[in-house]
Structure 1
Amino acid sequence: MSGIAGIHNRTETPVTAAELERLGATIAHRGPDDKGLFTGKQVGLIHYLLRIPSAVSVPQPLTSEDGAVTIVCDGRVFNHAELRAGLESRGHRFSTAGDVEVLVHLYEEQGEKFLDGVNGMYGLALWDDRNRKLILARDRIGVKPLYYADTGDSFIFGSEIKAVLADPSVRRRVNARAMSDFFGLSYVFDGETMFRDVMALPPGCICVVDGSGSPRVSTYWDMYFEPDHAWDEAETAARGLAILKNAVELEFADVDPIGIHLSGGIDSSFITSLAADIDRDRIIALSAGFREKEYDERNFALNAAEKAGVRYEEIEVYPEADTFLKTMLEVIRFVDEPTVSPGIHSFYILNEFTGRKVKVVLGGQGSNELLAGYNRYIMADMGDRFGRAVKRLNPVAAAGVVREMKGFFGPQPLKSLFLEAGKPSARRALRIASTFAPAEKMKLFSPAVVSELGGYSTEQRYIDGFINAPASTTIDRMMYLDMKNMMPNMLRILDRTCAAFGVEARTPFLDHHFVEFAASLSDDAVLKGTESKYILKKMGEGILRHDTIYRDKSGFAAPVTPWLQGHLRREANETLLSERALDRGYFNADNLKAFIERHERTGKGVWQVWMLLIFELWHRDFIDS
């Protein structure tokens, strides 16, 4: 892991070391072991290095032999040995043993297509002095972050938003569109941030900045769903297992010791088992649990660790009322933007614990979004099947779906099932994906926010994305949107809460070869009735415990409901209904009070209350200050 930042001046004004240091000081925690700078006629780059025990860690920036190409990179090139061998055979000479130098030589050969053969996680900036252009690039899935702002005279970028905001020319203003997205869908759409003047470089994209005008952003990789409907279960499971094994081997290879976030579910247990087959003595399995027994899964994590034969350590998470808001402000300061994830507090505590043990940790992120692991995919599939049955006047099939839904979800969703039977699948998917219902959200917003939105509709943007997704089924379209929009937000939490404590996070399920494998699966390979992640479970048979594969799983989900309705209730409500919060003018005060009171009375809407609380805390730290 590293931290990178830089400035490109279109006026050809030299970038000073002091300007770079100002940006870099905000992200120095990402790389506390070394710092390097590069300044040219109109560009400056800065890099902070985290040294990984047992791995080759080379200080940056790195420059080509002729001085024409200079790079700073946060991340890892996992297939660097293979790429280096090919480059050396074609006459390239290397000056370091590190992985990042292959990118310099690939660019010399291939120009802007230099990432086509790279397998890795990276956010990078490359200065091409010969052609006077700056290139930013981000890995295919967005494991590594990269942000930028274009002020006209200057282009500022960094690994974290706070680095971009450190430049005095970048204004701190709330992005009303992102605010609508956040409260509507629980994430901000790909490419935007909660700051009006700061953009996120989307995953799988490259951004070119030269003297010709606005930055040019283009896509070099995307996820295309091309399902194989004639799949063979044994062959498909074997193929998926081979791809996942290779991903774990690449990401595990150069680290000793290495941590694994182990919750005891199939995803993290699978990663633990495959890593243990390589070298179990290097592994420390790390887990977090809760006092609230219905949320605590440490016994399952311990069982998985014992099955894999690896060292196991755990921590208990319980936020005290008098320190909770202080801790959450620390978390938000690292994360940069509001996040709906109730587990962010727990994850922060877990990663503080992780940082005392290891410098690299593997995680199971991505499996749910790639293999229909969430209940919303099951609900969407039931809605599709019910709609088809009604359209074909097949009462037997329709009644079967009703029984199945009632048995799995209870009677609550049946009303929506009946009302939406004739609606387009995009509308049904939107309703399932929404956090605040559209009418409820707009009622909560103040007239000033509604006016600033200027007709922008989060919901229409979701529907347009659903319709235009490179997929043909409802489940695949939903997973595509989740991978493109929700996943980068989740990875931001992973990256920042790990970086806060000098830890690099790696995610084998998000190796782009496994992502492409998942996109080749038909719906019945990932979801059979109510059995989600079907093919992954078949991959795990004979490797994992049966109860690890087939039990219900909540992951590192935090007990936010009992917290907000219990010992954190008073402090949360006082924060949300404080004069300071109400005077901001984002929300209709009467409607906000009514919403909070309804939550108090019924216990419903805990996620929405959490979102409102996180938004307020974020605003206090990033906008007020």
Structure 2
Amino acid sequence: MCGIAGWIDLSRPTEWKEADLERMTRTLVRRGPDDEGLWADEHVGLGHRRLAVLDVRRGVQPMIAGSAEQPHAVLCYSGEVYNFRELRSELAARGHVFRTHGDTEVVLNAYLEWGESFVERLTGMFAFALWDPRARRLLLVRDRLGIKPLYYARTGDAVLFASEPKAVLAHPEFTARLDHQGLADLLGLVKTPGVTPFRDLYEVPPGHVLTVDGNGSRLTRYWALPTIPHEDDIVDTVAHVRELLFDIVRGQLITDVPLCTLLSGGLDSSALTAIATDVLGKAGEGPVRSFSVDFVGSADHFRASEFRPERDNPYALQVVDHLGTAHRTIELADEALTEDGNRDAVLGAHDLPLTFGDVDTSLYLLFSAIREQSTVALSGESADEVFGGYNWFHDPRVVGTADFPWLST
């Protein structure tokens, strides 16, 4: 998934040491286990931890446009732009020459071609820092829906930034102090956009750019979800949703490393696995590698609850039989879920004391096992929110209130 970290201070040549930048970047090793890169000049430091997905050999970061002696722009990037091939073709037609085959260099050249408006052309999930030494301007950019995290803190005239709070906290100029509003959000299981439990530490809001230059810093919104009447009939609606899902999955299957799907047997993961099977099959690739999770002894000791009324795995195996995926069920033992080292790893990755019983620990163990065979996993995150999968979305007492039922108790 990659991680970024760094700072900017235009008021004076920074006296911060490269060791500080390295310390910040090293906290993100779980996000980027494959490589580390550092770049700095007298006013800016950029650190990167890489999970190599596209152009594994040449896509190292921070990436420079121009020469090392006279850079036009420097990019420290996390995420993936799914329309990078289309943008690359358009930029090549405009005279841009590419040295790599990944999306990072496409983002760099898009900025050089279209300036600050380039972000409106990017489709994907991303968070990045782009330094323009000629304009003496740093852009901190977050994707439209905030899939990729990006935090920042002001310390005097300087701005620190990172993919996770722990990287900002690793810098000696920042002091961790609790914020009352952020703490209330944490305990109430809600989220105020832009706010964190730490005072003076903020998130770049989804669909925004934080610009830092000689005039200070300012947030600019480049995208907002429009609200328009839905006038399509059921047939057109189904066709449109199907087209969108195929387009989304097709874009996320582009990778230079082993890919898989997470298959629980529910509607969302089953649909995505089926679409991936169709797309890869038509391209002469496959079968799709799929993974599900189960627990030792669950068939004998499972107890139904409102949260989990049935076991997942029997449904997942039915989908496997239907689609013919290369499937593996990963069984987790109780002692692994309660082992102190695994719990410590989960809490350390969270930054915050927010976890839901053994759910996060089981995900950690599942992903650790998947990593032995695949680097990229396609899943159905947010499907319940988008398509109304939670039980309370269909509870008349909840639906009839004035509040939107994202979360109900």
TM-score normalized by structure 2?
Answer: 0.88
* Overall identity of the aligned pairs, in %: 35
| Change in CA separation of 1:348 and 1:116 when aligned onto 2, cut-off 3 Å | same
> Given the alignment of the two structures, is residue 304 of structure 1 paired with residue 319 of structure 2, yes or no?
yes
C-alpha displacement of 1:317: 3.3
Alpha-carbon distance between aligned partners in 1 of 2:61 and 2:399, rounded to the nearest angstrom: 53
Aligned residues: 390
Alpha-carbon distance between aligned partners in 1 of 2:260 and 2:118, rounded to the nearest angstrom: 31
Instruction: Tell me the residue number matched to 2:8.
Output: 8
Instruction: Tell me the residue number matched to 1:222.
Output: 224
Instruction: Tell me the residue number matched to 2:202.
Output: 199
Alpha-carbon distance between aligned partners in 2 of 1:350 and 1:383, rounded to the nearest angstrom: 35
3-state SS of the aligned residue for 1:30? coil
3-state SS of the aligned residue for 1:85? helix
Contact 1:171/1:197, CA 8 A, preserved across alignment: no
Instruction: Tell me the residue number matched to 1:110.
Output: 114
Counterpart residue type for residue 262 of structure 2: H
Matches within 5 A, 1:386-425: 425=402
3-state SS of the aligned residue for 2:166? helix
| Change in CA separation of 1:274 and 1:208 when aligned onto 2, cut-off 3 Å | same
Q: What whole-Å deviation, never above 9, does each CA across 1:132-171 have from its counterpart, x for those lacking one?
A: 1111011112221111111114211111111111001211
C-alpha displacement of 1:328: 2.3
**What stretches of structure 2 of length at least 5 have no aligned partner?**
none
| Change in CA separation of 1:370 and 1:434 when aligned onto 2, cut-off 3 Å | closer
C-alpha displacement of 1:53: 7.8
Instruction: Tell me the residue number matched to 2:192.
Output: 189
| Change in CA separation of 1:69 and 1:433 when aligned onto 2, cut-off 3 Å | same
Instruction: Tell me the residue number matched to 1:85.
Output: 89
Structure (1/2) with the larger strand percentage: 2
Counterpart residue type for residue 225 of structure 1: T
C-alpha displacement of 1:383: 5.0
Contact 1:267/1:364, CA 8 A, preserved across alignment: yes
C-alpha displacement of 1:263: 0.6
C-alpha displacement of 1:232: 1.6
C-alpha displacement of 1:264: 0.4
Alpha-carbon distance between aligned partners in 1 of 2:336 and 2:119, rounded to the nearest angstrom: 48
Q: What whole-Å deviation, never above 9, does each CA across 1:499-539 have from its counterpart, x for those lacking one?
A: xxxxxxxxxxxxxxxxxxxxxxxxxxxxxxxxxxxxxxxxx
C-alpha displacement of 1:282: 4.9
Contact 1:69/1:127, CA 8 A, preserved across alignment: yes
Contact 1:187/1:340, CA 8 A, preserved across alignment: no
TM-score normalized by structure 1?
Answer: 0.59
Structure (1/2) with the larger helix percentage: 1
Counterpart residue type for residue 146 of structure 2: G
Alpha-carbon distance between aligned partners in 2 of 1:199 and 1:380, rounded to the nearest angstrom: 37
**What stretches of structure 1 of length at least 5 have no aligned partner?**
385-423, 436-625
Counterpart residue type for residue 189 of structure 1: T
3-state SS of the aligned residue for 1:225? coil
Structure of higher RCO (CA pairs closer than 8 Å, 6+ residues apart):
1
| Change in CA separation of 1:267 and 1:322 when aligned onto 2, cut-off 3 Å | closer
Instruction: Tell me the residue number matched to 1:45.
Output: 46
C-alpha displacement of 1:114: 1.0
C-alpha displacement of 1:196: 2.0
3-state SS of the aligned residue for 1:114? helix
| Change in CA separation of 1:367 and 1:35 when aligned onto 2, cut-off 3 Å | same
C-alpha displacement of 1:82: 0.6
Alpha-carbon distance between aligned partners in 1 of 2:270 and 2:139, rounded to the nearest angstrom: 38
Pick from 260, 284, 290 the counterpart of residue 285 of structure 1: 290
Contact 1:70/1:104, CA 8 A, preserved across alignment: yes
Alpha-carbon distance between aligned partners in 1 of 2:64 and 2:194, rounded to the nearest angstrom: 29
Counterpart residue type for residue 299 of structure 1: P
Please report the RMSD computed on the Cα atoms of aligned residues, expressed in angstroms: 2.4
3-state SS of the aligned residue for 2:119? coil
C-alpha displacement of 1:48: 2.1
Alpha-carbon distance between aligned partners in 2 of 1:297 and 1:374, rounded to the nearest angstrom: 16
Matches within 5 A, 1:135-534: 135-184=139-188, 186-213=189-216, 215-228=217-230, 230-279=231-280, 281-290=286-295, 291=298, 292-293=301-302, 294=304, 295=308, 296-320=311-335, 323-342=338-357, 343-379=359-395, 384=400, 425-426=402-403, 433=407
Contact 2:289/2:327, CA 8 A, preserved across alignment: yes
3-state SS of the aligned residue for 1:320? helix
C-alpha displacement of 1:130: 1.4
Contact 2:54/2:103, CA 8 A, preserved across alignment: no
| Change in CA separation of 1:226 and 1:318 when aligned onto 2, cut-off 3 Å | farther
Alpha-carbon distance between aligned partners in 2 of 1:56 and 1:381, rounded to the nearest angstrom: 55
C-alpha displacement of 1:21: 0.6
Instruction: Tell me the residue number matched to 1:526.
Output: none
C-alpha displacement of 1:434: 5.4
Alpha-carbon distance between aligned partners in 2 of 1:89 and 1:64, rounded to the nearest angstrom: 18
3-state SS of the aligned residue for 2:75? strand
Alpha-carbon distance between aligned partners in 1 of 2:315 and 2:287, rounded to the nearest angstrom: 21
Instruction: Tell me the residue number matched to 2:35.
Output: 34
Alpha-carbon distance between aligned partners in 2 of 1:322 and 1:125, rounded to the nearest angstrom: 37
Matches within 5 A, 1:60-99: 60-65=61-66, 67-99=71-103
Contact 2:54/2:102, CA 8 A, preserved across alignment: no
C-alpha displacement of 1:110: 2.2
3-state SS of the aligned residue for 1:123? strand
